[in-house]
Amino acid sequence: MEPMEVIVTEARAHRTVVLTARESDGSFEVREIEPYSLRPGAKDRPEVRLYYYCLKKHGIRNTANSSGECNDGRIVAVLG
């Protein structure tokens, strides 16, 4: 199952998701997130955006596409 599919499945079950994200400096960080919304992208960027609350960073984050590019890292593994 693709990372985004796991996240969507867990969101529908109202569960948090543990993921590994690659930071811009190349390091890896494990995070627990609470996914809550899928939204369509803008006209010039049609990919679906996933919004979630990151328990480690205590804030709302988002990912712009199914490959997991985040505004604060890149999702490389998901554990449901």
What pLDDT digit, counting tens, does each position of 19-72 carry?
887 777 888 888 898 988 888 777 777 677 778 898 988 998 877 644 444 444
Local confidence band at 74 (pLDDT 50, 70, 90 cut-offs): low
The structure's pTM equals 0.66
CA distance 42 to 44: 5
Across-strand partners of 18?
Answer: 32, 79
- Distances, alpha carbon 57 to alpha carbons 5, 12, 47, in Å: 23, 23, 24
* Number of domains into which the chain is organized: 1
Domain span holding position 61? 3-79
CA distance 27 to 65: 21
Local confidence band at 78 (pLDDT 50, 70, 90 cut-offs): low
Q: Under a CB-based contact definition with an 8 Å cutoff, are residues 21 and 35 in contact?
A: no
